Amino acid sequence: MRQKAKPCGQDGALTEEERKVGEDLLDTLRAKQDTCVGLAANMIGKNLAIIAVSLGPVNVLLYNPVITSRKDPYPAEEGCLSLSGVRKTLRYQTITVTYRDGNFAQHTQTFSGFPAQIIQHECDHLQGILI
């Protein structure tokens, strides 16, 4: 988990393995929904740039997510399935993320509040960063 994740869709489309890893992430997120709100592929042993995030009633996959804008920093304390306890970190209230969906279509979306915090945490994992 300390290495940077590899981008998906190097040939302009997702491979079957990349799709399977995405489904595995969603399955794992559903199975751990009582204690988990986000996962990165490297947390399940796959060094790919994929995250799964719980956005309330919906879980979504973001392939190759990149945070392009950050606004309103604040101190946060977070837990992680990969570590025990909680740790202090700096997060941003509002972020803009560019990512690919399951059809490999590109999107740019702004997130605020807790969903933004989850995405920042998981994107850190993709960069090899543990809180």
Quote the CA–CA distance of 35 and 103 in Å, as a whole number: 29
Q: 85: which residues sit within 8 A by CB, 6+ positions away?
A: 79
Q: Which of 104, 98, 106 lies closest to 19 in space, CA to CA?
A: 104
3-state secondary structure of 123: helix
Strands (E), 1-131: 38-40, 50-55, 58-80, 83-100, 106-112
Catalytic one of 16, 18, 23, 122 = 122
Q: Report the distance separating Cα 77 and Cα 88, nearest Å.
A: 4
Catalytic, 122? Answer yes
Residues designated catalytic: 122
